[in-house]
Amino acid sequence: MEEILVLAEHRKGMLRDITFEMLNFANALTSQNRMKVSVLLLGEDNAAMAERLENFCDNLLLLDCPEVANYSPDPYLQVLEKVVQERKSSLILMGHTAAGMDLAPPLAARLGLPLVSDCLDVSLRNEHLEVLRQIYGGKINAKLRLKPFDQYLCTLRPGCFSASVNREGSADKVMVEPPHWSEFRRRFVEYVEAELADVDITAADILVSVGRGIGKPENISLVEEFADAIGATLSCSRPVADKGWLPKSRQVGTSGKTVRPKVYIALGISGAFQHQAGMKNAETIIAVNKDVKAPIFNVAHYGIVGDLFQVIPVLKEKFAR
Ligand SMILES: Cc1cc2nc3c(=O)[nH]c(=O)nc-3n(C[C@H](O)[C@H](O)[C@H](O)COP(=O)(O)OP(=O)(O)OC[C@H]3O[C@@H](n4cnc5c(N)ncnc54)[C@H](O)[C@@H]3O)c2cc1C
């Protein structure tokens, strides 16, 4: 294996966290295996983004043209097909994001590459690629060893790796020649913003997450006030979203979002594996539950066995900004 090729992901001129998560992961893998990390940045007027990336890879492959200004599957696919074939990259990494999920399968089909999607981890053992994936809706983590191939394509689940890349150095910049574009059947038109009330819980440093233990929708405001007081963002378990007490965009877990905040405070959440799958990589987990046997305590760093209605005022007083 010689090169890991990371596809940089960005939106509105801003690199997305998944790009740095993949770079962090790729650099850790190459440090053990003497491979090179290359980043492919497609965009228009992308000098500022390129500057942010150049310390974190060996090669920075740049294509700066209007066709790839925003993510769009047809032009991206045509560029990737050319680059991957020319460079013979051993491992191609994309985020398991809306863009990565859209792009990886047709790329794999066109180039005949083995594709493993939604990986929680990827490692190399005696030249064999091993990947960690969740099966049975997140109930079991399965480690899979792939047959030897010259090239592999993997999508990495966002939030599974830290986004702080530990590497110094300057990349060689390589200008990528655009392919001979063939017809685009789809074109980027515009970004349609999510409703104003929506927040991106994956970007929050502190999450206060509320579960069914809150009892009724009128009680959500208590947790909301607590979150505001400590500068946190509100998230929830699935029943709270299913009942419509908070929007679906706030749900943490296998059928919601995977989060990796600095602090995750779980209030009245039992900690079913589907929930844990979305939050267990938080740096610090604090759980409040009146049931000492609640599974959330298996992943919590700090646990408070008690009634959340009594505990919240105490936490609020101690930690309010
Ligand atoms: C295919 C599939 C996908 C799923 N995806 C998700 C997902 O993405 N996210 C998710 O969260 N779930 C998901 N679930 C549901 C999951 O299995 C659990 O049912 C759910 O996480 C439970 O939510 P909860 O912990 O809020 O509720 P409960 O399991 O009902 O737990 C409530 C907890 O609150 C505690 N409690 C009650 N009152 C108080 C009080 N006054 N003070 C303190 N503690 C109190 C109780 O002891 C209990 O532990 C999924 C399920 C399936 C089948």
pLDDT digits (tens, 9 = 90+) for 273-311: 999 989 999 999 999 999 999 999 999 999 999 999 999
257 C-alpha to center of ligand 1: Å? 15
> Does 72 score more than 80 pLDDT?
yes
Q: How far is CA 71 from the centre of its chain?
A: 17
**Higher local confidence (pLDDT), 99 or 166:** 99
The pLDDT of residue 197 is 59
Residues 69 and 43: beta-carbon distance below 8 Å:
yes
Of the pLDDT bands very low, low, confident and very high (cuts 50, 70, 90), residue 265 is very high
Q: How far is the CA of 100 from the centre of ligand 1 (A)?
A: 30
Band of pLDDT at residue 199, cut at 50, 70 and 90: confident
pLDDT digits (tens, 9 = 90+) for 20-49: 999 999 998 888 778 899 999 999 999 999
- The tens digit of pLDDT for each residue in 4-16 reads 999 999 999 999 9
Mean pLDDT of 198-218: 94
* Percent of the chain whose predicted confidence (pLDDT) is above 90: 81
C-alpha dist (Å) from residue 206 to 60, 286, 313: 33, 11, 18
Tokens (6 digits) for 260: 């990796």
Report which protein residue has its CA nearest ligand 1's atom 19.
272
Strands, E assignment, the chain: 3-7, 10-11, 14-15, 36-43, 59-64, 91-95, 115-119, 121-125, 128-135, 140-145, 152-156, 172-175, 206-210, 233-236, 263-267, 284-289, 302-305
pLDDT the model gives residue 135: 85
Pocket test for ligand 1, best of 208, 236, 237, 314 (most atoms within 8 A of CB): 237
Give pLDDT tens digits for 292-302: 999 999 999 99
Q: Atom 38 in ligand 1: which residue has the minimum CA distance?
A: 213
Query: Which structural domains are found in the chain, ordered by start?
Result: 3-175 (3.40.50.620), 201-319 (3.40.50.1220)
Phi, psi at 126, each rounded to 5°: 50, 50
pLDDT over 80 (residue 139): no
Rounded to the nearest integer, the mean pLDDT of the chain is: 93
Measured from CB, residues less than 6 Å from any atom of ligand 1 are: 137, 211-213, 237-239, 251-256, 268-270, 272, 274-275, 278, 288-291, 294, 307-309
pLDDT at 238 over 80: yes
User: What residue's CA is closest to ligand 1, atom 7?
Assistant: 253
**What's the rounded mean pLDDT across residues 47-74?**
96
Mutate to test the pocket of ligand 1, among 255, 286, 292 (most ligand atoms within 8 A of CB): 255
